[in-house]
Amino acid sequence: MIFVPRRNIYTRRPYWQRGSVSVTPFANAAQQSVSGGVVTVSGETGISSVGAGNQTVRVDFLQDGTIDKFETQSGSTQLDVATDWIIPNTGADSTFDVRHISPTGDPFDISAAAVNVWVNLGSNRSWGYIDTDPSAFAIQNGGATFQIRKDGGAVIDSAIYSMLANRTS
């Protein structure tokens, strides 16, 4: 039997080294304080909308410093107050950029920019899928790694967001 160590996504340490450590929301080494706050993105794997009629799912990086998800079935909701793209949100301004890299699955139907192209967070930016075909083979799903930087500098933080849109009838 081959032993493959698992990684804990919150502490970035192997599970056998976790012990009774305290986990902070800013455990990723790439996250860092910047003028006005701490940049942090958590990622999300459960953005999905399945049902009758056209189905839309997307992740929205908003100029106010928050990250929302939109699902046709439940509407737009903030992902997690503890992991907005900048905390506190008052630190959000147009000196930040976002991009997506390493896409998986279907190409985005909704895309603020092409792969590996930085776009300014002085405006709301969205990526996602729209399924308008009720065929069982028309499911739209995939995702990408999203990165944030400031003032054209190095990547401050990144996370994976995955989505699925499925029109059933």
Burial class (CB in 10 A: 0-12, 13-18, 19+), 85: buried
Q: Which CATH number fits domain 39-167: 3.40.50, 1.10.3470, 2.60.40, 1.10.20?
A: 2.60.40
Residue for token digits 């929205």? 60
Residue 20: pLDDT band (50, 70, 90) is very low
Per-residue pLDDT of 110-142, as tens digits, reads 999 999 999 999 999 999 999 999 887 789 999
**pTM (two decimals):** 0.78
Q: Could you tell me which residues are beta bridge partners of residue 96?
A: 150
Residue type present at position 1: M
Query: Mind giving me the DSSP string for 142-165?
Result: EEEEEEEEETT-SEEEEEEEEEEE
pLDDT over 80 at 27, yes or no = no
- Residues 40, 158: contact at Cβ < 8 Å? no
Residue 65: pLDDT band (50, 70, 90) is very high
Question: Do the bridges between strand 125-131 and strand 55-61 make them parallel or antiparallel, or are there none, so unpaired?
Answer: antiparallel
Residue for token digits 């776009």? 119
